[in-house]
Structure 1
Amino acid sequence: MNKVVLLGRLTKDPEVRYSTGEKETAVARYTVAVDRRFKRDGEPTADFIPCVVFGRSAEFAEKYFHQGMRVSISGHIQTGSYTNKDGVKVYTTVVIVEEQEFAESKSESKNTSNPVEESSADDGFMNLTDEYDDELPFH
Structure 2
Amino acid sequence: MNSVHLTGRLTKDPEVRKSTRGNDCVHFTLAVRRRFHKKDDKDSSEDQQMPKQNADFISCVAWNGIARVIGNNCKKGSRIGITGPLQSRSYETNGTTKYLTEVRVNELDIFDFKEKEELPESDLNGTSVNEEEMDIY
TM range (shorter): 0.5 to 0.7
* RMSD, aligned CA: 2.5
Residues 58-69 of structure 1: pairs in structure 2 closer than 5 A: 58-69=67-78
Q: Which has the higher strand share?
A: 2
Unaligned runs of 5+ in 1: 112-139
Write out per-residue CA displacement over residues 65-120 of structure 1, whole angstroms, 9 at most, x where no aligned residue.
Answer: 111111100001111223431x443221111000111135x7xx776xxxxxxxxx
Does residue 27 (structure 1) correspond to residue 28 (structure 2)? The answer is no
Partner of 2:79: 70
Distance 1:67-1:39 versus aligned 2 partners, 3 A rule = farther
Please identify the structure whose Cα radius of gyration is greater. 1
Q: How many percent identity over aligned positions?
A: 40
Match of 1:54 in 2: 63
Quote the Cα distance in structure 1 between the aligned partners of 2:107 and 2:92: 31
Return the structure number with greater relative CO, CA threshold 8 A, min gap 6: 2
Q: Structure 2: which 5+ residue stretches go unaligned?
A: 40-51, 117-137
Deviates more, 1:32-41 or 1:76-85: 32-41
Deviation at 1:44, TM superposition (A): 8.0
Q: Secondary structure at the match of 1:2?
A: coil
User: What is the rounded CA distance, in whole Å, between the counterparts of 2:75 and 2:101 in structure 1?
Assistant: 23
